[in-house]
């Protein structure tokens, strides 16, 4: 469960103070106390039934808190004895437009509970948040921790029940980060008369659709890994295959697979927006596109058309030279001719 306190006096002043029959102080942790910080982290983990998840050691705590300064820690002391701690750092709210204070850990020794020390730590942090011009203060709480939930309700904390915490642990994080730059390529077997097509994807969208052996293959990542067709292939590949099946049957598909073009300059986009609009079975010359864009260079248009990494779906094969000449095509002139014949726009 996630809680939020907004930085307003009406909230934090309602927090009770600890009992006054002892000397109670709250102070920042010192660099030489990294081991003590870790000790309290482990005590909290035991209480929350997740001690097996603690992999930090003294060195990592020291480096994170006192070298990188990724977070801050304060200790609560009773008559000079450390009885609790709080670990916190700043986050940021785009909605509020200001930083916030995020409470990662708060723990009071079991034998010292019921004396107001937890509330005192919360009040200390609330005041600190206001002093630092934070828009709010947030933390999460296990839904079975009823004593803590009761305290949080009493100080005005609002449960954010509509939110759920999402987490990538270290293993999942590294796996996802490593996969992010791996481009997968699948082969589509075309009908006789065409070279096979290579479908490139990042797993979510199509990033390339090129004839095999074409001069355009350099447009895709050099570390692309060719995959075998299978029932577990990405949805985008299944969609692209379905689009190609329809296209090579001699019909214009009634849907478009999701695709992305990296490195799309404003001029390339302007040219390819026109290319996408050329109907099935029709053609347009480089000069006609240049005229529509009010530019003087058909050659510049040719460069933008030739850059296109999504063949067929963005039908650059429908762009021809003046007087109907079949000019350069990254996928090869034979494939361009075959595509135009398939669409019925080239009668030779």
- Give catalytic residues, as residue numbers: 316
The token pair at 318 is 């429908």
Backbone Cα Rg of the chain: 32
C-alpha–C-alpha distance, residues 179 and 158, integer Å:
38
Residues contacting 3, CB < 8 A, separation 6+: 138, 139, 140, 141, 152, 157, 158, 159, 160
How far is C-alpha 48 from the geometric centre of its chain's CA atoms? 29
Beta-strand relationship, 81-93 and 72-78: antiparallel
Return phi, psi of residue 225, to 5°. Answer: -105, 125
Beta bridge partners of 310: 209
3-state secondary structure of 244: helix
Q: Which of 258, 251, 253 is nearest to 236 (CA)?
A: 258
Residue 125 near residue 12 (C-beta atoms within 8 A): no
Beta bridge partners of 3: 139, 159
Match 């530019």 to its residue by tokens: 295
C-alpha–C-alpha distance, residues 24 and 98, integer Å:
32
């Amino acid at each position: 469960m996630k809680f939020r306190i907004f930085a307003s006096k009406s909230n934090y002043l309602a927090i009770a103070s600890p009992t006054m029959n002892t000397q109670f102080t709250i102070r920042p942790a010192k660099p030489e106390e990294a081991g003590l910080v870790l000790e309290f982290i482990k005590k909290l983990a035991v209480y929350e039934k997740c001690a097996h998840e603690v992999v930090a050691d003294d060195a990592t705590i020291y480096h994170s808190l006192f070298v990188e300064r990724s977070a801050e820690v304060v200790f609560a002391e009773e008559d000079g004895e450390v009885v609790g701690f709080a670990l916190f750092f700043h986050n940021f709210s785009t909605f509020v437009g200001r930083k916030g204070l995020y409470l990662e850990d708060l723990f009071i020794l079991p034998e010292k509970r019921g004396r107001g020390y937890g509330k005192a730590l919360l009040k200390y942090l609330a005041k600190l948040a206001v002093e630092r011009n934070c828009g709010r203060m947030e933390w999460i709480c296990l839904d079975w921790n009823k004593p803590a939930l009761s305290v949080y309700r009493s100080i005005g904390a609002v449960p954010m029940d509509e939110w759920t915490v999402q987490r990538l642990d270290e293993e999942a994080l590294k796996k996802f980060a490593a996969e992010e730059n791996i481009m997968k390529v699948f082969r589509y077997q075309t009908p006789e008369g065409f070279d096979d097509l290579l479908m490139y994807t990042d797993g979510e969208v199509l990033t390339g659709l090129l004839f095999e052996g074409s001069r355009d293959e350099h447009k895709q990542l050099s570390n692309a890994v060719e995959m075998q067709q299978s029932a577990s292939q990405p949805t985008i590949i299944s969609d692209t295959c379905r689009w190609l099946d329809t296209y090579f049957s001699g019909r214009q598909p009634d849907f478009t697979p999701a695709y992305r073009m990296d490195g799309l300059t404003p001029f390339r986009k302007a040219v390819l927006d026109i290319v996408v609009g050329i109907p099935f079975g029709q053609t347009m010359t480089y000069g006609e596109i240049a005229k529509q864009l009010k530019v003087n260079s058909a050659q510049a248009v040719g460069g933008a058309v030739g850059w296109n990494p999504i063949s067929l779906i963005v039908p650059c094969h429908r762009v021809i030279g003046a007087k109907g000449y079949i000019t350069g095509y990254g996928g090869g002139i034979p494939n361009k001719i075959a595509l135009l014949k398939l669409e019925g726009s080239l009668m030779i």
